[in-house]
Structure 1
Amino acid sequence: MNRTVVALLRDNAGHAREFASRFDDVQNGQHPEAVTVCCSDSRVLQDHVFGNETPGRLFTCGNIGNRVIQRTAAGEVVSGDVLYPLEHTGTRTAVVVGHTGCGAVTATYGALTDDLDVGSEPPGIEHCVGLLGPQLEPGVALLPDGVDAGEAVNRLVEYNVDRQVEALLDSDDVPDDTDVVGVVYDFQDVYGGERGEVHVINVDGERDPETLRAASPEVADRIDRIWTY
């Protein structure tokens, strides 16, 4: 068998030994505390980001660009994988998790600035970039002159998280009492903390760091933005 799969199965055996007794309370149902919407990226370990080792605690979703929107015949709607725990498991916290150096945002930025021919990508990737494009295009227009590509991408990472939070808040399908939080996972030391830290940039549409720190002083050191617009 493929050596990578053999190694994965060996590691899974250790996981099974460690977790065998942790499923008793979730054998027949789940009531996760939060749904997290992360970018599909090998550097973003969704459960490990939050130190999660409890089955049933987090409902984790992942896709290119940590999007909450899918395109249907009826138009753009909140993606079913994000909506499911909000509709059916009593979950009332949604966390959109962007990350520094995001490849999806980089590709979308390239497409919007004519530095990338999206038509050369496979249809699945082209579709994902096409969903992000309309949301990020206003952000590209807001970028200050003189920022290099890396700076532009990390600013747009925040902008993208803001747009996903906004989409959840604006959706009639999302229960009104859902708390929606936008964060950025930083493994590039962009925010000046430890690599691997999560930084809160948006809470229920509020984006001003000082206002957010005043409201949540217990985590004031984890609230920050690199771009206000």
Structure 2
Amino acid sequence: MNQTVVDLLANNADHATAFDSRFDAVQDAQHPDAVTVCCSDSRVLQDHSWGNDRPGHLFTCGNIGNRVMQRTETGDAVSGDVLYPIAHTGTKTAIVMGHTGCGAVTATYDDLTEGLNEPAGISHCLDLLKPRLEPALDLLPDDVSRAGAINRLVEYNVDRQIQFLKASDDVPDDVDCIGVVYDFQDVYGGDRGEVHVINVNGETDTDRLRAEHAAVGSRIDRLWEY
């Protein structure tokens, strides 16, 4: 067995010792306060970014491009892993977390503008993102850099995922759908690893959001109000 796995198992032993009693209240059921959908990127530690160390608190999902939809025989639908806690455990908050410099958004941008040749599994994921991101290409500022374009599309993608959740008949109207961006590249001007709120239930106007959510007004920010 390679050293990486040996080290991971050693770390897990420490985890098991620390968490042994923390599972007492969730042995037989879970009622997470939020479902979070994060991009599958090794630089974004989904639970740790929220300071979560409590089993049963967050229902975490991850995929490339922080997508909330999957393709079915009857069309695109809210992904089962995202929908499960909403439908079955009483979860009333859904958080979609994009991140700066997203590789999935970058690949989708490149596929739309230049065409890519990816393995089937990756192409499938990009095909789910492309129709959501393509309309944004004509909206990008003419003088925007490549990195600037990608990070604006990160926001646009989060917006589209929130829009999809809010439009779905499978997601009750009383579920709060929050869009955020995790920044580890000094794009938003805060600390690295800070989460910035960009969308609340489809509202993206930062002035309105700050007025309505003054308690977290300093955490509300966008690069792009298109």
- Superposition TM-score tier, normalisation by shorter sequence: over 0.9
Secondary structure, counterpart of 1:28 in structure 2: coil
2:162 partner letter: V
Superposition RMSD on alpha carbons, in Å?
Answer: 0.6
Q: CA deviation at 1:131?
A: 0.6
Number of residue-to-residue matches in the alignment:
226
Question: Match of 1:147?
Answer: 144
TM-score by length of 2: 0.99
Query: Any stretches of 5+ residues in structure 1 without a counterpart?
Result: none
Pair 1:226-2:223 in alignment: yes
- What is the match of residue 122 of structure 1? 119
Partner of 1:49: 49
Structure 1 Cα separation of the partners of residues 178 and 63 of structure 2:
18
Provide the residue aligned with 2:103 in structure 1: 103
**DSSP 3-state at the match of 2:107:** helix
Instruction: Supply the AA of the counterpart residue of 2:81.
Output: D
Matched AA of 1:27: Q
Alignment equivalent of 2:201, drawn from 204, 208, 213: 204
Deviation at 1:148, TM superposition (A): 1.3
Aligned to 2:91: 91
Residues 126-137 of structure 1: pairs in structure 2 closer than 5 A: 126-137=123-134
Please state how far the C-alpha of 1:155 moved relative to its aligned partner.
Answer: 0.2
- Higher mean displacement: 210-219 or 29-38: 210-219
For 1:139 and 1:97, locate their aligned partners in 2 and report how far apart those are by CA, in whole Å: 19
Distance of 1:40 and 1:139 partners within structure 2: 23
Tell me the equivalent position of 1:162: 159
Whole-angstrom CA distance in 2 between matches of 1:140 and 1:24: 50
- 1:73 — aligned with what? 73
Give the letter aligned to residue 111 of structure 2: A
Stretches of 4+ aligned residues off by more than 3 angstroms: none
TM-score normalised to structure 1 length: 0.98
Identify the range of structure 1 (139-148 vs 182-191) with the bigger mean alpha-carbon deviation: 139-148
What fraction of aligned residue pairs are identical, expressed as a percent? 69
Q: CA offsets per residue over residues 15-44 of structure 1, 9 Å max, x none? A: 001100100000000000000000000001
> 1 CA distance for matches of 2:13 and 2:213?
41
CA distance in 1, matches of 2:200, 2:214: 14
2:161 is paired with a residue whose SS is helix
> Which residue of structure 1 aligns with residue 61 of structure 2?
61
d(CA) in 2 for partners of 1:71 and 1:178?
A: 22
Instruction: Kindly indicate whether residue 226 of structure 2 is the aligned counterpart of residue 215 of structure 1.
Output: no
* Structure 1 Cα separation of the partners of residues 98 and 199 of structure 2: 11
